[in-house]
Structure 1
Amino acid sequence: MNAELIWVLSLLAVAVILFATDKVRMDAVALMVIVAFVLSGTLTLSEAFSGFSDPNVILIAALFIIGEGLVRTGVAARMGSWLVQVAGSSETKMLVLLMVTVAGLGAFMSSTGVVAIFIPVVLSVSARMKIAPSGLMMPLSFAGLISGMMTLVATPPNLVVNSELLREGLQGFHFFSVTPIGAVILLLGIGYMLVARFTLKGRERDDGKEGWKRRTFRDLIKEYRLSGRARRLAIRPGSPLIGQRLDDLKLRERYGANVIGLERWRRFRRVIVNATGGTEFRVRDVLLIDMSNSEVDLREFCGEQMLEPMILRGEYFSDQALDVGMAEVVMTPESELMGQAVRQIAFRSRYGLNVVGIKRNGEAIAGGLLDEPLQLGDTLLVVGNWKLISQLGQQSRDFVVLNLPVEEQEASPAHSQAPHAIFCLALMVALMLTDEVPNPVAAIIACLLMGKFRCIDSESAWKAIHWPSIILIVGMMPFALALQKTGGVDLIVKGLMEVGGGYGPHLMLVCLFVLCATIGLFISNTATAVLMAPIALAAAKSMGVSPYPFAMVVAMAASAAFMTPVSSPVNTLVLGPGNYQFSDFVKIGVPFTLIVMVVCVLLIPVLFPF
């Protein structure tokens, strides 16, 4: 072992310790590694910075943007809503559909992002079904990890391994090369979690913790006594409202009816549109009206205006969270509007939002909201467009937005562009499948089209890229090159050959999987793939067998981060909401990791013969 190799291994050990202790940011550690290699003369400047020119780094950045486009257009959130509707009250059905949906979405976007989206969905479902979230949170995280085994672009380790194949002059994997393995593991994972979830039952969240006090639409509706006050009324053909502007009709003055929203058919579905003074009514529009100030008989009102009452369920606002927002606001002490009533302020005309509730001294005011003079300390509940609610808090000197409900996380600023986002995703997959266009170029085309269709804007695209992950990949790539130059790869391969080389390639796959899984306990799966990919290819070359099964086992093992809550960000995300302990992941994750290893060792050689 030469001095240069000792230096590289020492630097690797220091990096692993820093990753494991989390005392220094991972991207900062990666940049320090680059500097250390250049200053020590181990690598040239171009070699140390070669990661910045790797096409897969561009591909990974583009995939972050595409995933954000799916979030902003509400594609992921709608999948969550569909999940709740289909599963009903069956916990088993919910678990199966949850894992399938998360694995499917995670095949094309960040698994961390998908899990983050579904955490509030699972919490809501758990509350509705009156079960502990712990029974669904770990299946959620496991499905997020398994999603990395579903397609080539599902997770950075797959792309890192594929890049190493191309660097060695070999043909890379196809888009769906990993899918058969991932599908088998997903099926086994569902069966495993259906049994293992019973060991996680009984742990309820501590709702006394400050972090869990964020309210829902349902909570606000109850606090402000909105139940029974709102009505849904459809405009029938021949109604005198058709073609009239809201301000001209003076429904508040004539009937005490406050129009707080409007459902309108757009692209084969009803969406909520903001009701302003200039809104012109059309046939088939559905008015959402607050009748709390009205003394007029509802039947008389509907008959005179040719309106048809429709069902208004308690979950209405929650179901419409993509289109309509709800928030509590309070008037600032220096506001000139103090003492004026909502009607005098012309709140709807000025801010584009409707006041549907007022709370004074902790109690909701029963009626006469529009004519009630506002006092210092009053809290107003407003309903309207999420963007307008945000603008009220940012631009108005008269009001401060106090609390945004949980549903705000599900709001999608570009939800009307969802069909375009799906088209962009489908186009990217199609281009990748044809192999006529390089994968990074296909992803960039999809990103540009998402920008063209306004699925995402430039600021959101820039923020969507997880730069620490990009820098981590770029910074760890020189390690593989340094280990090759100093003989480190040959040394590790020699050790592997001594352990399992004489027993055939199957045992070597076991050794590679165990080594990857062990390293993955201390550093990220991406960094693990960067280090292990060249070792796997060198081991295959040493044994005189095909490199593809060896490369594939590294990719699969890198995603098999089931054993601890710090092995992967998706595990860390569900740790608090599921009220898990460290031992829960060890108890559930270790056996499943062994199952995944057995599947990989037996199945990969069938799909990719030695």
Structure 2
Amino acid sequence: MTADVVVVLAIVAVAVVLFVTEWVRYDGVALMVLLSLAISGVVPMARAIEGFANPAVVTIAAVLVLSGGLYKTGVANVVGAQVLRLAGDSPVRVTALLMLTSGLMSGVMNNTAAVALLIPVVIEISRRLGMRPSRLLIPLSFAALLGGMTTLIGTGPNILLSSILERMGQGGFGFFAFTPVGATALTLGVLYVVLAGRHFLPDRSTGDDDGGDDGGDEIDLTGRYHLAESLLTLRIPAGSALDGCSLVEARLGQALGYDLLAVRRKGHLVRAPEPDFRLRSDDVLIVEGRIEALERLRAWGHLVRHRESNDALGRLVRDSTVLAEVEIAEKSDLVDSTVRSIDFRNRFQAHVVAIRRGGQVLSGSFQAVRLEAGDALLLLGREDQLQQLRYATEFSAIGWTDIGSATEEYELYRWLMRLHVPDGSWLDGKTLAASRLRRAFDLTVLEIEREDGDIALPDASERMRAGDRLIVEGDPACFAVLEALQALVPADERPSVDELESEDVGFAEVTLAPSSDLVGKTLREVLFRESYGLNLISIFRGGRAFHSNIRIARTALAFGDALLVYGNRKKIALLARDPR
């Protein structure tokens, strides 16, 4: 055995290990093998890269580009609609049509891309017919492999063989040279699966259970998504500030990451309540989430609140910290944005204290208000940084104001409070960003008062300490909601998944279409709840279900994600027909 043979075998062994373990991406492994062969001298450096000029390689790359075009243009939506129309409710006809479709598509594009295009179609058909997806996915894969043999570009080896023959001077294969044999193999394969092979296909659940005959939905919900384990019941005590609040005002999702699925009131269960549903004392809330979120909020302790006096801002406006008023320009890119979405404080190094629109003052909970041209913003910041706003095209005017005028004009004393961080609080040592005071409750910390020195306009990375006194701007009603959430009473009983479903309300699992413009966007960006009127309970990705709506709200959607939604079945049907 020569030294070159030993080197080649060693490189192959390492490549196999990397391919199997996936420690390195496949394309990275391929380049490593190429470089190793060239560096070791087994293959001359000039020969190592000449393959990139081979017509076969260019042809394969062109096929991949074609596949990408078909993938992005929504071919799967058209194909899926036609397959559903022609197949009806016959599993046999569905299997045959899907295999023929997959085989024909594989003849003109990459096999993997053809299968990826049709997976959402298969999932939707299997759900409609009540079949296990495995009984359609396996025939789909078989047909893609067989279809790749029907044309010259159907699979890489066909192209390589044709290229080798051309180099030998014997002429390459024609485009349809493989068709007689390939089409025959595809036809026989379809007939075998439809007539006999389908009886041997595994009847596998999409969940983690070992199967049974108990049906799909309950198995998926409890097995794949572990839904039964994440359901909680919480009671609203008498005298709670949540009494009379709408679901939006209650902030269950923003503050705790909970999805409210149902409300039990005086023995009656209200499933999938609308956002304007009003809560009442003694309501029992059935939510999806983790009890640890509530325990952590309660561990904040009682943040003793004191209403600030009229000169509260006077202590803030000192040294180089001043108040200024700016006006949104007519063609400003801030128009139709919110203070929260543009991250105003970090973008302009100033805090928005209040907004005046016409003769109306918007103070307290204005973070989600969409800005309009002509809006006047009262800003608090350092003088040198506010001076820079003179050159910002987003604003048409800037002027300075004093504490007396601002307090009288904007009634600032109504929106300022002082909170005391108690000893042993969970907040001790946590950053302002981790507390989520502003994002969850629209409470903005303007100053931290502590014995070793006050911190005006603290950064989000500033850590709080036990004993800190926080000068906070916000609506007192938002602080009342915070205290009311801390006072929620967990119940020992665990609700049943079955009782959450009815003829009108239920769960469903949906997947994104391959051409979906939602891919790469977060749920916060697409406003899922507002757009579809459904609760998105979980995202299943890579064998794992993600539940917290705080986390999934900032998770970018990806093709192949399975979304578990809950709500009115008519709205679910509309979502299923959405081309996105």
Q: TM-score, normalised by structure 1?
A: 0.37
Q: Which has the higher helix share?
A: 1
Q: TM-score, normalised by structure 2?
A: 0.38
Greater RCO (Cα-Cα under 8 Å, separation 6 or more): 1
